[in-house]
Amino acid sequence: MDKDLKASIAEVQVFVASPRRAVPARGSSEVTRVSTGCANCNLHEICIPCGLTGREVDQVEELIYARRRVKRGESLYRAGDAFNSLYAVRSGFFKTSQMLEDGREQITAFYMAGEIMGMDGIGPERHSCNAVALEDSQACVILYSRLEVLSRNLPGLQQQFHKVMSREIAREHGVMLLLGSMRAEERLAAFLLNLSQRFAARRYSGHEFVLRMTREEIGSYLGLKLETVSRAFSKFQEEGLISVRHKRVGILDATGLKRMIGRGLH
Amino acid sequence: MDKDLKASIAEVQVFVASPRRAVPARGSSEVTRVSTGCANCNLHEICIPCGLTGREVDQVEELIYARRRVKRGESLYRAGDAFNSLYAVRSGFFKTSQMLEDGREQITAFYMAGEIMGMDGIGPERHSCNAVALEDSQACVILYSRLEVLSRNLPGLQQQFHKVMSREIAREHGVMLLLGSMRAEERLAAFLLNLSQRFAARRYSGHEFVLRMTREEIGSYLGLKLETVSRAFSKFQEEGLISVRHKRVGILDATGLKRMIGRGLH
DNA sequence: CGGGGATTTGACACATATCAAGAGCGGTGG
DNA sequence: CCACCGCTCTTGATATGTGTCAAATCCCCG
């Protein structure tokens, strides 16, 4: 039994008034009652409670049925699973991906702390992609049925939820622009700048960070092969735009990176 | 004054109880009060009212502030415009696109009757892409502020709206899969099958239809150049999968088209 | 400390882009 | 109603960006 699991057991507390039913554990991921609610969570400026008043945040906490620990490489949910809840990343890093029959995998997103996963499942009432942890992670389980009810009574929550969905749509538009009209180096530059920005928004360094995904996963997300990603990294390093050593990346010249996007050839 | 405009004026009726403010006309597009409400609209099985009871549909009609006529090539909204409403396509065909500084355009979607546009504007409270009519078209103006209020009181509407947003996210995942991991011919096959299906859902022929967009626009959507699109059309025709004559397309072998997707090379 | 996956780099292949020319069609105006 | 013009589409020849295959090195994880 590893230390994470021990910690998770120690953390079990009756926090939610009346959990309606059990959430099935998948793989070795573990389900725990939440001990720290949204009000104490340091992500409340980024996550669902963003913009809500203290009283409202207390109510929003009731949404969180439990928290799930997911170890590196394991699934939070899989394509085809029944849809019951959304997930907010509490800690760690996830990827979501779609598969083609022949095994080709397209990564559709990387999620970091405070971001919401699973919204594509609402329509079909079934998850349509796989969510896998890129490192040992935790996700808050947001029961969708409760979210529906609660957001009818809390306009602020309703608004925030709609904005979260809307931003997911807008984000994907950006990815479509990237995949449909940018060249390999532009794609990687856009990707690095995006990561940098998101780390900075979480008060981590936006200038120096560790990639949680492999070159192959970056390639899958960007519609490139891993060798092409690797070559682009090397080229950026030669040009003094970044420093790379395996997964450790330093952004040396963010302006230079921005300049390479959106100007066609050269 | 053309016949469409005359018709639009003839159509003006006080249908909505208290329009709060004028919707500014853009270009030569025209705003009219709606005469036929959602209950009579033949799209109610596809559009927002889908799944609602008759009573509920009556209430949903209050969402529709007006209808806008947009002529071919003109904008329904532009990137940067303040966001006030969503739009449901009443008739015709629209494209939405994102621009890069250097003028590259990525078409992010084609919308046909019953589909909802503009959801990416909710988060930023500003439209983030351009919506242009591909033929003379009409769109129902859904005031977002009313949608928020009404969906708090009509659970069915809330549910339907969330599903519409969710499906938009899922659709974009599909496009990302297409752009990120399919080859030119697979992309076109997927595109044609998708169009065919959507026409069929609207009781038009899914076997024979007229493309509303140019080869260049198809290419922009699929991340290809127009010549590549044209060549793929010709190849499909040679292989007996489809018939093409300019914008008129016949699907001769849907199974064959499906077979070419998702099997890697060849 | 050992082993296997991840990364880098090179050489070459191939899919798609680019450039170019001509044909077809549709809308407009005489 | 016909003829013209311009835009769209098709097709060919060539260029190029990225994929593919291969091998060596590096590290991280167990």
Can you tell me the mean pLDDT for B210-222? Answer: 97
**A163 → chain B, closest CA residue:** B123
Q: What pLDDT digit, counting tens, does each position of B176-191 carry? A: 999 999 999 999 999 9
Instruction: Please give the residue that has the higher pLDDT: either A20 or A180.
Output: A180
CA of B226: nucleotide with nearest C1': D9
Question: Residue A118 and residue A96: Cα distance in Å, rounded?
Answer: 9
Whether residues B162 and A262 touch (CB distance < 8 A) is answered with no
Chain B CB within 8 Å of residue A170 CB = yes
Assess whether pLDDT exceeds 80 at residue A30. no
Grade residue A38 by pLDDT with cuts at 50, 70 and 90: confident
Instruction: Tally Cβ neighbours within 10 Å of residue A3.
Output: 7
Judge contact between B122 and A166, C-beta under 8 A.
yes
What's the pLDDT score for residue A173? 97
Assess whether pLDDT exceeds 50 at residue B10. no
B195 is written with which tokens?
Answer: 């169009």
What three-state secondary structure class fits A208? strand
Q: Measured on CA atoms in the order A105, A109, A111, A114, is the torsion positive or negative?
A: negative
Q: What pLDDT digit, counting tens, does each position of A134-165 carry? A: 999 999 999 999 999 999 999 999 999 999 99
Task: Give the minimum alpha-carbon distance from B266 to chain A in angstroms, rounded to a whole number.
Answer: 12
Instruction: Provide the percentage of residues in chain B whose pLDDT is more than 70.
Output: 85
What pTM value is reported for the model?
Answer: 0.88
Instruction: Please give the residue that has the higher pLDDT: either B235 or A53.
Output: B235
CB of B184 nearer than 7 A to strand D: no
What's the pLDDT score for residue A22? 41
CA of B266: nucleotide with nearest C1': C15
What three-state secondary structure class fits B241? coil
Find the Å distance, CA of residue B237 to C1' of nucleotide C27.
28
Instruction: Provide the percentage of residues in chain A whose pLDDT is more than 90.
Output: 73
Judge contact between A37 and A45, C-beta under 8 A.
no
What's the pLDDT score for residue B17? 36
Instruction: Tally Cβ neighbours within 10 Å of residue B251.
Output: 22
For residue B152, the chain A residues in CB contact (below 8 A) are: 151-153, 155, 158
For residue B220, the chain A residues in CB contact (below 8 A) are: 180-181
Grade residue B29 by pLDDT with cuts at 50, 70 and 90: low
Q: What pLDDT digit, counting tens, does each position of B113-153 carry? A: 999 999 999 999 999 999 999 999 999 999 999 999 999 99
Strand partners, B87: B117, B141
What's the pLDDT score for residue A62? 85
CA of A228: nucleotide with nearest C1': D18
Grade residue B167 by pLDDT with cuts at 50, 70 and 90: very high
C-alpha A93 chain-centroid distance = 6
For residue A222, the chain B residues in CB contact (below 8 A) are: 180
**A259 → chain B, closest CA residue:** B101
Task: Give the minimum alpha-carbon distance from B141 to chain A in angstroms, rounded to a whole number.
Answer: 18
**B153 → chain A, closest CA residue:** A152
Chain B CB within 8 Å of residue A206 CB = no
The residue assigned the tokens 């554990």 is: A25
Lowest mean pLDDT among A1-5, A162-166, A243-247, B217-221: A1-5
Find the Å distance, CA of residue B71 to C1' of nucleotide D7.
18
What's the pLDDT score for residue A33? 63
Assess whether pLDDT exceeds 80 at residue A16. no
Chain A CB within 8 Å of residue B79 CB = no
Chain A CB within 8 Å of residue B163 CB = yes
Q: What pLDDT digit, counting tens, does each position of A206-255 carry? A: 999 999 999 999 999 999 999 999 999 999 999 999 999 999 999 999 99
Task: Give the minimum alpha-carbon distance from B9 to chain A in angstroms, rounded to a whole number.
Answer: 35
Q: What pLDDT digit, counting tens, does each position of A159-176 carry? A: 999 999 999 999 999 999
Whether residues B98 and A173 touch (CB distance < 8 A) is answered with yes
Name which of B50, B108, B110, B177 to mutate to probe chain A: the one with the most chain A Cβ atoms within 10 A of its Cβ: B177
Q: What pLDDT digit, counting tens, does each position of B52-98 carry? A: 988 899 888 888 888 999 999 999 999 999 999 999 999 999 999 99
Find the Å distance, CA of residue A88 to C1' of nucleotide C1.
40
Nearest neighbour of A177 by CB, restricted to B98, B124, B173: B98
What three-state secondary structure class fits B8? helix
Question: Residue B163 and residue A166: Cα distance in Å, rounded?
Answer: 13
Nearest neighbour of A175 by CB, restricted to B124, B176, B261: B176
Tell me the pLDDT of chain B averaged across its residues: 87
Q: What pLDDT digit, counting tens, does each position of A193-203 carry? A: 999 999 999 98
B101 is written with which tokens?
Answer: 């500084």
Q: Which of A74, A111, A117 is nearest to A92 (CA)?
A: A111
Q: Which of B157, B122, B164, B115 is nearest to B140 (CA)?
A: B115
Assess whether pLDDT exceeds 80 at residue B23. no
Q: What pLDDT digit, counting tens, does each position of A51-75 carry? A: 898 889 988 888 887 899 999 999 9
Instruction: Provide the percentage of residues in chain A whose pLDDT is more than 70.
Output: 85
Task: Give the minimum alpha-carbon distance from B122 to chain A in angstroms, rounded to a whole number.
Answer: 6
Which of strand C's nucleotides are less than 7 A from any protein C-beta? 6-11, 15-20, 25-26
What's the pLDDT score for residue B62? 85
**A184 → chain B, closest CA residue:** B180
Grade residue A39 by pLDDT with cuts at 50, 70 and 90: confident
**B125 → chain A, closest CA residue:** A163
Whether residues B179 and A176 touch (CB distance < 8 A) is answered with yes
Chain B CB within 8 Å of residue A145 CB = no
Strand partners, A82: A126
What's the pLDDT score for residue B28? 52
CB of B246 nearer than 7 A to strand D: yes
For residue B217, the chain A residues in CB contact (below 8 A) are: none
